[in-house]
Structure 1
């Protein structure tokens, strides 16, 4: 893949001189679930994470969890201090974050929302997240990602 493809996420990493590795994959229809993506890019499933956006009374929040896990909404609600959180409707995702479903990155959203990474990131030096468009993933150091987006780490995922 040429280096010409630049998403907001990749531009932000470049601006901060944060190293990353890019993975590309072909998109067949609506198959953008994380396990399919991990298999397409030939990377361990436990290193590939998905980005979910929620909203509550006090604003929007971002959760980054392993692709094979389910978000524990009660757990993240507690971490961010909200009584009740709901998943952001897909139709509101692009206008809120600048990204579409399947291509939502925790880096480079229109606004940096409070972000929580699942505690499982502590078992990895690097993780793979969306690079801001369907068909494009990026591998970054967990420490760089935490620092860049000022994220918290907490147990917010339930492994299925």
Structure 2
């Protein structure tokens, strides 16, 4: 089930509300989340069916060590078909090292639950990098702020609304 969201829409998640407020075009796609499933990217890919899996992205939080963002959390957006390259992430953020964030810290910082963390509409704006491969597509899919809800959006619009950088941070 899909529906187009417009600036005049009401309700929604913090992600859809933030996109509405920014006047950014996007489409919401919903599907049934199966309790107990923990590979949320694979679940979305299967549920969205005819969408190329490299258009479906996951939002991963990292902690940075050294550099201008030392000791802080940061956001990465990479296709579900890729693995996050932590060395490339550290380089992209000007840090010495990057490590996956503790899930509880990610939930606390973003206001979303793991498997539903959207890069948009987080409680606290964090530095963000989007994998360069997304430029190969007219639209990509990111979490809309809850499990079973994805947002289809143009990569450039996502980068603009987030104030994100683009870098090659995925591999595979």
TM-score higher than 0.5: yes
- Report matched runs for 1:118-129 at 5 Å: 118-129=131-142
Is the contact between residue 14 and residue 145 of structure 2 (CA under 8 Å) also seen in structure 1? yes
How many Å separate the matches in 1 of 2:108 and 2:40?
Answer: 22
Q: Match of 2:129? A: 116
Deviations 1:31-72 (A, max 9, x none): 242122111022221110000001124211111001011000
- Root-mean-square deviation (Å): 1.5
How many Å separate the matches in 2 of 1:4 and 1:148?
Answer: 19
Q: Match of 1:136? A: 149
Q: Match of 1:52? A: 60
Aligned length: 159
The SS at the match of 1:85 is strand
How many Å separate the matches in 2 of 1:101 and 1:6?
Answer: 18
Is the contact between residue 27 and residue 152 of structure 2 (CA under 8 Å) also seen in structure 1? yes
Unaligned 5+ segments in structure 2 are 4-8
The match for 1:14 among 13, 20, 29 is 20
The SS at the match of 2:60 is strand
The SS at the match of 2:158 is helix
TM-superposed deviation, 1:5: 5.1
In terms of mean alpha carbon deviation, does 28-37 or 55-64 score higher? 28-37
In terms of mean alpha carbon deviation, does 47-56 or 82-91 score higher? 82-91
Is the contact between residue 11 and residue 17 of structure 2 (CA under 8 Å) also seen in structure 1? no
Q: TM-score, normalised by structure 1?
A: 0.93
